[in-house]
Amino acid sequence: MPRQLASVEDEILERLTQPLPAGRRQKRLGPRAQELVMEAFGSTVGTPPADPGEDDSGGGTVRQVRGARLRQLRVRGFRGIGPEVTLDIPASARLILVTGHNGSGKSSLCEALEHLLTGTSRRWDKRSAVWRAARLNVHGDGAERSRIQALFDVDGQAAPLTLTQTWRSDAADDFTLKLGNAPCAPDAGLKGLGWARPIERQRPFLTQNELGSLLESAPSTLFDAIAPILGLQELSDTMAALRAREKDAKQHVLEALRPLAELKEDTARLALTDQRAAEALSLLDLDPVPVGDLEALLLLPAENLDAASKLVVLQQLASLRPPERAACLNLAGIVTEVATRLERTAGTDAAAALRRARLLRQALADHEQAEGPEPCPVCGGRILDEAWTVATRQEIAKLDAEATAAQGAVEQARRAMAAARRLDLRPPEVLAQATGLGLDPDRLAASWAELADRWAAVEELSADDGAPSVEKLLEAAAALESVDLAGACRSLNERAQAEIARMDEAWRPVARRLLEALPGWGTLPEDRKLLADLDEACKWLRKAATDLQEERFRPIAEQVRRNWERLRTTSSVSLEDVFLSGGGTRRSVDLKVAVDGREAKAFAVMSQAELNSLALSLFLPRATVPDSPFRFVVIDDPVQAMDPVKVDGLARLLDEVAAERQVLVFTHDERLVDAVRDLVPDVVIFEVEREQQSRVRVVAQRPAWDRVLDDAMRFARSDADERIKLRVVGGMAREAVEAAIGERVRVEWRNKGATWDQVHAALAGKDLRQRLAVLVAGSLATRARASDDQIIRRWDDRVRRVVAIANSASHDELRGDPAGFVHDARHTVDLIMGRS
């Protein structure tokens, strides 16, 4: 049997973290992709895996009830069953056959158990409402018209687990479920037991009706019916989650990129006339888009554009201001003041004044050397006395002041002219570009040029080192004051501003859209990286899933092949291999078969019986996976069109399955009963019998010979017509002894390796004495005839009498006491069966 499956998360974790074993070709996954895989599992690397026994089929923590074996099934008012009938299964029973003829109610028992656990029946649920609605038995009555109750032995629990389903009407949802004595919602009950998912994935019910239809259905349906036993649903869910995340990421990237083309187109349309658009377009052409640069361009275009760009020029023109009038006026004032000073000092000679003052200082110094008044040494005339001294000193002071004033005025005039030269009154260069932009700057340019010319004239006045003439300076000051650029400049400002506004009107919507798109483009590199990691994780997980699927299906495929080998017996069709292949809509179960060694198409070369056997081979593993909480399998009507040899193989297969779990088989085919009874000494057989008013009885089957002799004894003691009684008792005794001999022969011959066919051929058509001879002969090599001597030697007088009378009972009447004869017949049977 396949080993217990590890949790999918464990397996994936191992593949993610452990060194790659030799031969495994799957490449190591990147760290981020690893995280993505584990995130998809709802976990992280290093976190212990969830309890594999926990049923995650929804709704809170649940206990996991395992090892369930059926102990009792009680049914009333369900389909063919009227009053309550009980099927009590011995605790030790491993293989149970429930037999009964068609319409006896055995299938109703089988369906009742299925209905209790699944809420429906596969036999009915795909049929019309008319079929599905007929659950209630016509003879049911009372408040609770129908009830199904099952007791299960489960692991770790002394008391049986009880599940009860009752309903009052045929409405699909009009039933209640009880777990023990506690009512529960129909689905919550199974969830609470941890059975909700296993009842689907490891469905313990196998009916030929369902299996046959699955075999005939689409390849994907067959795949879906088998694949769940691999326990990879969690992996499928994880892959789905990962793919969903990948899809989201891809969508995110696509949504970020979606406006790019349109924005590029719109931007390109503006790029011819708007440098901002041209710059933006060049940025948009880059991959990834430099979001920071683009944002700077959008928010502060002037700082990020070439100085010669139209917008920058327009902005310069819009903000162009004439030389400040104050500066001009100040300059004019300075010029006027300088002129005034120059005029005031006009006619004075600072140098002459300085020379004279120096001469007078020397004369005064010479006089101070004299001892009193003395005549002027130069002219000898005027007496240089004290009065002269005072007067001379005053003259010296006056001459110094004159020289200083004259020098100051000149100096001030020079400084004023130097300041005026620093004042740039030339027309701004940007004005020259305004013409190209269609802004007509001529008036402003002319005024500016006039100002410049006039100032140039002033500069010419001050070009030499000498002081400018007062008249010229005053003339220049007047010129500066008279030129007014403001009006022309304002006009140009407005035109430039209007052009900017016109450009903005076209640009702003595009810029706004660009700004809106920026956040998406901002995360685009990370999103693309995430997308690449998700793609890597998806591919890795898909490969891991394929590997895991193959690894897990391999032992199951082996089991399927073994099952087929058991069932195919003499069939020339060999099952070479079974694969789960493809994925998505191309998923299928591929069967590789060969007919007498030549490869063939499975379904085309198989008979109906072989197809039935194949279906059973395929689906038995589903019901017997070690993970299943159900330690029972219910098989309904498995024989179908099988020939006796295949029935023999089926019996062996059931015996093998029953070694691991409780196998409950519902069948009407006595060949299977015979075959199983021969093969499995401890088989438990129940008979289902139907009486009037839908009363169904389930009785444990005693051997046929015992039951026949019971009937014979009842006849012997009855008031029946004596002629009938004598003939029937004799016939029944013959029947019982024949049956016992047949059973003994089957067991002994089969133990010696005889086939079912050989046993059948040895007994077919033979009367009692001849059958006894077959038993005595004991082997195929001996002719199936025994002399009376042989019989006499082997058994006693009572046996001989029974054989003699019973063998002739078809031709003559029993003579003597019928009851005594039945006692002798039972003695004979006991001897044959080794019970005496």
Instruction: Give me the residues that bind other proteins (CB under 8 A), please.
Output: 99-104, 667-670, 673, 687-689, 701, 704, 707-708, 711, 714-715, 718-724, 726-728, 731-732, 735, 739, 764-767, 770, 809-813, 815
Residue 595 β-bridge partners: 573, 598
Per-residue tokens: 547? 């590997």
Which helix (H) or strand (E) covers residue 685, if one does? Answer: strand 684-690
Question: Please, what is the minimum distance in Å from the beta carbon of residue 826 to other proteins?
Answer: 15
Query: In the 3-class helix/strand/coil scheme, how is 604-628 assigned residue by residue?
Result: HHCCHHHHHHHHHHHHHHHHCCCCC
Question: Please, what is the minimum distance in Å from the beta carbon of residue 662 to other proteins?
Answer: 21
Question: Please, what is the minimum distance in Å from the beta carbon of residue 144 to other proteins?
Answer: 30
CA 35 to chain centre: 14
Q: 66 vs 690, which CB is nearer to other proteins?
A: 690
Q: 613 vs 701, which CB is nearer to other proteins?
A: 701
Question: Please, what is the minimum distance in Å from the beta carbon of residue 835 to other proteins?
Answer: 18
Question: Please, what is the minimum distance in Å from the beta carbon of residue 780 to other proteins?
Answer: 18
CB contact set of 207 (below 8 Å; sequence gap of 6+) = 110, 122, 123, 635, 636, 637
Q: 593 vs 673, which CB is nearer to other proteins?
A: 673
Q: 101 vs 127, which CB is nearer to other proteins?
A: 101
Q: How far apart are CA 13 and CA 35, in angstroms?
A: 11
Query: In the 3-class helix/strand/coil scheme, how is 119-179 assigned residue by residue?
Result: CCCCCCCCCCHHHHCCCECCCCCCCCCEEEEEEEEECCEEEEEEEEEEECCCCCCCEEEEE
Question: Please, what is the minimum distance in Å from the beta carbon of residue 687 to other proteins?
Answer: 4
Question: Please, what is the minimum distance in Å from the beta carbon of residue 773 to other proteins?
Answer: 11
Question: Please, what is the minimum distance in Å from the beta carbon of residue 709 to other proteins?
Answer: 10
Cβ–Cβ under 8 Å, residues 176 and 185: no
CB contact set of 287 (below 8 Å; sequence gap of 6+) = none
Q: 143 vs 764, which CB is nearer to other proteins?
A: 764
Question: Please, what is the minimum distance in Å from the beta carbon of residue 701 to other proteins?
Answer: 7
Q: 656 vs 711, which CB is nearer to other proteins?
A: 711
Cβ–Cβ under 8 Å, residues 627 and 590: no
Strand stretches in 367-504, DSSP E: 374-375, 383-384
Q: 494 vs 691, which CB is nearer to other proteins?
A: 691
Question: Please, what is the minimum distance in Å from the beta carbon of residue 617 to other proteins?
Answer: 25
Q: 24 vs 785, which CB is nearer to other proteins?
A: 785
Residue of 266, 221, 185, 819 whose CA lies nearest to 514: 266
Longest Cα separation, the chain: 216
Q: How far apart are CA 836 and CA 831, in angstroms?
A: 5
Q: 102 vs 181, which CB is nearer to other proteins?
A: 102
Q: 619 vs 821, which CB is nearer to other proteins?
A: 821
Q: Three-class SS of residue 656?
A: helix
Question: Is the peptide bond between 288 and the residue preceding it cis, with omega within 30 degrees of 0?
Answer: yes
Q: 655 vs 706, which CB is nearer to other proteins?
A: 706
Query: In the 3-class helix/strand/coil scheme, how is 308-352 assigned residue by residue?
Result: CCHHHHHHHHHCCCCCCHHHHHHHHHHHHHHHHHHHHCCCCCHHH
CB contact set of 472 (below 8 Å; sequence gap of 6+) = 458, 461
Residue of 1, 7, 99 whose CA lies nearest to 548: 7
Question: Please, what is the minimum distance in Å from the beta carbon of residue 831 to other proteins?
Answer: 20
Q: 333 vs 731, which CB is nearer to other proteins?
A: 731
Question: Please, what is the minimum distance in Å from the beta carbon of residue 710 to other proteins?
Answer: 8
Question: Please, what is the minimum distance in Å from the beta carbon of residue 726 to other proteins?
Answer: 8
Question: Please, what is the minimum distance in Å from the beta carbon of residue 762 to other proteins?
Answer: 12
Q: 510 vs 772, which CB is nearer to other proteins?
A: 772
Measured in degrees and rounded to the nearest 5, phi and psi for residue 816 equal 105, -165
CB contact set of 773 (below 8 Å; sequence gap of 6+) = 784, 785, 786, 790, 791
Q: 44 vs 718, which CB is nearer to other proteins?
A: 718
Q: 410 vs 806, which CB is nearer to other proteins?
A: 806
Query: In the 3-class helix/strand/coil scheme, how is 514-577 assigned residue by residue?
Result: HHHHHHHHHCHHHHHHHHHHHHHHHHHHHHHHHHHHHHHHHHHHHHHHHHHHHHHCCCCEEEEE
Cβ–Cβ under 8 Å, residues 667 and 98: yes
Question: Please, what is the minimum distance in Å from the beta carbon of residue 109 to other proteins?
Answer: 14
Torsion of the alpha carbons at 668, 671, 674 and 677, rounded to the nearest 10: -70
Q: How far apart are CA 507 and CA 314, in angstroms?
A: 15
Measured in degrees and rounded to the nearest 5, phi and psi for residue 246 equal -60, -40
Q: How far apart are CA 441 and CA 485, in angstroms?
A: 12
Q: 424 vs 817, which CB is nearer to other proteins?
A: 817
CA distances from 98 to 72, 436, 677, 699, 701 (A): 13, 106, 13, 9, 9
537-547 burial code (b ≥16 CB/10 A, e <16): bbebbeebbee
Question: Please, what is the minimum distance in Å from the beta carbon of residue 727 to other proteins?
Answer: 6
Torsion of the alpha carbons at 698, 703, 709 and 711, rounded to the nearest 10: 20
